[in-house]
Structure 1
Amino acid sequence: MTVEDPFVTHRSLLFTVAYEILGSAADAEDVLQESWLRWADVDRAEVRDPRSYLVRTVTRQSLNRLRTLSRRREEYVGEWLPEPLLTSPDVAEDVELAESVSMAMLTVLETLGPTERAVFVLREVFDVPYGEIAEAVGKTAAAVRQIARRAREHVAARQPRVRVSRSEQRAVVERFLEALRTGQLRELLEIMAPDVVMITDGGGVVAAAPTPFHGAGLVAEVLAGAHRSVVTLETTPVWLNGTPAGRIDFDGEPTAVSLTVENGLITRIYVVRNPHKLTRLDEPSELSR
């Protein structure tokens, strides 16, 4: 009987760590490739805990890449949103994991510095001990505790205050998709909070607004206009990033739409149109803790 390589055993965990730190599946895959090459050169007899060792390796590689990406994202055309992932409903069974990979959370994590983001992800999502985080990010354990506290407060002040059930989220998503498909402006207005914000990401490749839209009236008008501007519009409920969401095909061109729902109303709409970020909509990604 052959023993599976620890890297293969923990691959979905390692991908999830990299994806949460980077917000990009493509970059997370590159990090895993770099980490695999390093793992291949390691004397396995010297590694007492392969899982912890691999998480630290992936974290270091993710931080290196994140610092490079931060400069690239400053030059990004328009609004930058994380890369959406098609996921199975099983991911939502782990409520904390689903919340941590949601578009809402990933956009909040974008407001943290690289080290703060890595510390928050490792501690709050994966419950990695402070000592191991310190080794991964090159800080003392005491410093990591302080960074974790600041990051936790930063995220808490910006994330949705009310956690909704999957059934409520799904119901709002389905109403939204039906209203968009039929172009019902009044229905769209009824399911959005007055101060709703819609962010669109086209990456300079396809049409998208350079800045967010604010207010239910404007957002509903923009969405209704999108309905009028195309010949065919298909909407499909899907699971994105562990949460009920939607796939919309405008004249055959896919768009991923994720919603933040609070008190039965939509407060945030994340619209990803950049085709380079939509390569993960056909096959579910494996995420785990």
Structure 2
Amino acid sequence: MTERPTTIVELSAGQVEYRLERRGGPVVVMLHGGHMRAGLTLDERVYAEADVSVLAPSRPGYGRTPLSTGTSVSGFADVIAELCRHLGIERVAASVGISAGGPTAVALAARHPALVERLITQAAVGPLPYPDPRTRLLAGLMFSPWTEGVTWGGMRALLRRSPERGLRQLLAGLSALPPDRALAELSPQQRTQLVWLFSRMRSGSGFRNDMRPSEDLTSQVSQPTLVIASRRDGAVPFAHAEALVAGISRVQLVESQANHHFYEFAADWPAITEAIRAFLATDPAS
């Protein structure tokens, strides 16, 4: 795994960092979750294999997109629409929201139906309070502007000294199963990939911003929607997927059997990718 190069553009709302990987097919907008930025590519393999172009912006507070650029999910959805116009992208095959990127993906579909043809959410935060009060308090302490660098520095040091211990500690909050069991089901290659990813994550001011309440726009989503979720995801409860399904009119739920928050590393990921490919091939007007 390598971090991909990104570009900075100045739009009417401010500076945005993005990565655009053009391929032969249509474009999806990829909205990654917490602690991620445009240069990191987790969960994009299915789109590369399907020859789909990916536009991945860093959300507010992450990477080189300042928090002042469209702080709210609705505000940043409008920024993404402007970014698409700037890049000459007239149609988006799907707005894809992973984890904490889910609310922005929903907002992009709801606010810009002429641009977005479909909506895909994966392990995504839905229209429910998030996170729970205990997690909110802990995250506020660990990822404040004064502590987030220390938090990630300590985690990187632990991952260097004892990768398995570090992964076990991280999986405790990312799986509904005991962390030893979740870790046992990851291959050596997947463990190496996760160590690499966690060693490059940063929260900036973005993660604390992700915990702010956002408007429920699910009833305004008119596009066909694919909701992918696991009941054993320890980071985003399955109830969020159920709330998305309840609020969106044209929706299909696909249950992943992942034992953690990283569905791409689950045994049933090939079946999930087939569902994504089939969904992208459907007529959005039907």
Q: TM-score normalized by structure 2? A: 0.31
Q: Which has the larger radius of gyration?
A: 1
Return the structure number with greater relative CO, CA threshold 8 A, min gap 6. 1
TM-score (norm 1): 0.30
